[in-house]
Structure 1
């Protein structure tokens, strides 16, 4: 069931789940029970658990909990080609 955003004049915004076939234009505020009109917002485009969602969550987490590096990365060996045609390629 999708969530819709409503805005109470005194308490602010809140989300409320409703079936798509029966979305009310006004919903009672869960704090003060005043009628709150529905706001026009963009839909949730990411599914929880999707690759994009996990990437966004990991990126947001690094702002508060950055990864600490304890050692330099392991050194990798570069592969040397023995093909004589590769010697003609430009070098960086």
Structure 2
């Protein structure tokens, strides 16, 4: 749910969570009780590490441009894991 910033006439600032379809332009100030108007702020961008983005880009790219291999993998060998992070298991597979 997105966070919206509000500022009242007394100078108090606070953030509030609302669904995008129900965001009011004005609300009561949580500090002093005066009417507070929604203020324009910069978007909150993710600070996910570049390695996570590289992994997602590589997975998406491999769907249409598979990597070239020189030989087939052996059928008896266990599959090689490239990462030990359990969150990577949730990423889409090609």
Q: Which structure would you say has the larger Rg?
A: 1
TM-score (norm 2): 0.47
Higher RCO, 1 or 2 (CA under 8 Å, sep at least 6)? 2
